Amino acid sequence: MGAVPIKENVYWVGAVDWNVRDFHGYSTWKGTTYNAYLVTDDKITLFDTVKESHRGELIHHLHEVLGGDLTRIDYIVVNHVEMDHSGSLAEMVARIKPEKVFCSPMGHKALLEHFHHQDWPYEVVKTGDTLKLGKKTVRFLETKMLHWPDSMFSYIPEDKLLISSDAFGQHWATSERFADQVAAPELMTHAAKYYANILLLYSPLVQKLLATVQEMGLVIDMIAPDHGLIWRGNPGVILEAYDRWSRQEAARKALVIYDTMWHSTEKMAKAIVSGLTAEGVSVQLLNLRVSHRSDILTEVLDARGLVFGSPTLNNNMMPRMADFLTYLKGLRPKGKIGTAFGSYGWSGEAVKHITAAMEEMGIELVDPGQKLKYVPDHDGLRGCVELGRKVAKAM
Ligand code: FEO
């Protein structure tokens, strides 16, 4: 794959990681990309680098555009310090010997004190600061906590181009570089999964950011994120989706998420699904043994009802349920209702522990939960159907 022109004198020079399958707990089952961009104006400027393992691809792409001489690059802009974007920064600074390295105040602190410990020729920029490159200008916008404290956007008004760091990305390795070159449903599924797993907890900040972009009057016809495909021509599609996702608007949809030991809790789960569907609710039945936590989060994004099931194991819930609830709690979903269920043998604490976790994360309990001893009988399952109906009616 070569460097790709995305605007006049602006190139994608990043790397495609076809093989990565885990991104701090997120299942990247179709890989990802680490996008970096090069602007060749009077001042030649590199925006972000790539994961250390992929620096060869970045160097190859830069050589291709610059005729083999990396020292022609004047500036490096570090929009985000996380290692998938700054992992090869030290080597790139050594090769390029830039006149300046631009970053946010938090980026400066992180790079100097915590990541690379080298006193590079930093220039710290804040929201509203501008940098003249020649014909093009860069306007900086700090985007704290989207997705780290140091994150920022770089906007080039002459190109109506927003280089957006982690925001608006997708973990999806493709040979195409633009969103309009791939199938829209799959693209939006990857974008939704990315939002649900990385940005959901920062939804109030996303709302503020979208308002700031409007207030600043940024005219945008291309959004170039640090992962996945570039939105060109109609970036409104992803801006509108971020507005919707960050409002956490829910559909009449429920998830029944469970683990099971000897299929008793699974029988209860299926009975609850029957009750929900009888009331016209769209349901996903998700067994934690075959559904990855990060794929379930994609479904959580627009679900109103969350029903969790686990048998009791050693006075507690099953480990996969504990894993999932811990992950979910960190992402702080809003506006959810639900309950819990599970079979047990003698003590039966799983439902109590699950409902406590649900209350802790602000999920409204519509029922204290249903637990059944050993293998559920007909009456027990009828109670589970009723539990499903009860959740549906509360939605
Ligand atoms: Fe793609 Fe927050 O790093």
Task: Tell me the pLDDT tens digit for each residue of 247-295.
Answer: 999 999 999 999 999 999 999 999 999 999 999 999 999 999 999 999 9
**Whether residue 142 has its Cβ less than 6 Å from ligand 1:** no
Residue 370 and residue 300 in one domain: yes
Which atom from ligand 1 is nearest to the alpha carbon of 83?
Answer: 3
How many alpha carbons lie under 13 Å from residue 329 in its C-beta half-sphere?
14
User: How many domains is the chain built from?
Assistant: 2
- Residue 299: inside a domain: yes
What interhelical angle do 184-194 and 236-247 show, nearest 10?
40
Query: Is 159 close to ligand 1, i.e. is its CB under 6 Å away?
Result: no
The reported pLDDT for the residue numbered 1 is 75
Q: How far, in Å, CA of 6 to CA of 310, rounded?
A: 50
Q: How does pLDDT run across 126-180, given as a tens digit for each residue?
A: 999 999 999 999 999 999 999 899 999 999 999 999 999 999 999 999 999 999 9
pLDDT value, residue 207: 97
260 and 222 within one domain: no
d(CA 220, CA 92): 29
Q: Which domain holds residue 242?
A: 4-246
Q: What is the pTM of this model?
A: 0.96
Residue where a domain stops, chosen among 211, 226, 246: 246
Do 70 and 158 share a domain, yes or no?
yes
Q: In this structure, is residue 195 part of a structural domain?
A: yes
> Which atom of ligand 1 is closest in space to residue 34's alpha carbon?
1
CB of 82 shorter than 6 A to ligand 1: yes
Q: 7: CA distance to ligand 1 center in Å?
A: 24
Cβ–ligand 1 contact at 150 (below 6 Å): no
Q: Known catalytic residues? A: 24, 80, 82, 84, 147, 166, 194, 227
- Using the atom order of ligand 1, give the atom closest to the CA of residue 151: 2
| Burial letters 294-318, b for 16+ CB under 10 A, else e | bbbbbbbbbbbbbbbbbbbbeebbb
Average pLDDT, the chain: 97
CA of residue 169 to ligand 1 center, whole Å: 10
Query: At 13, which CATH number?
Result: 3.60.15.10
Last residue of one domain, picked from the residues 189, 224, 246 = 246
Domain-embedded: residue 395: no
Q: State the pLDDT at residue 116.
A: 85
Residue with CA nearest ligand 1 atom 3: 82
175 and 270 in a single domain? The answer is no
In DSSP notation, 160-214 reads TEEE-TTTT------S--BGGGS-HHHHHHHHHHHIIIIIGGGHHHHHHHHHHHH
Q: Do both 272 and 324 map to the same domain?
A: yes
Extract the residue ranges of the chain whose pLDDT is less than 50: none
Tell me whether residue 114 is in a domain: yes
Q: Which residue, of 246, 262, 285, is where some domain finishes?
A: 246
Nearest residue (by CA) to ligand 1, atom 1, is 166
Asked whether residue 291 is assigned to any structural domain, the reply reads yes
pLDDT at 244: 96
pLDDT of residue 147: 86
Same domain, 195 and 257: no
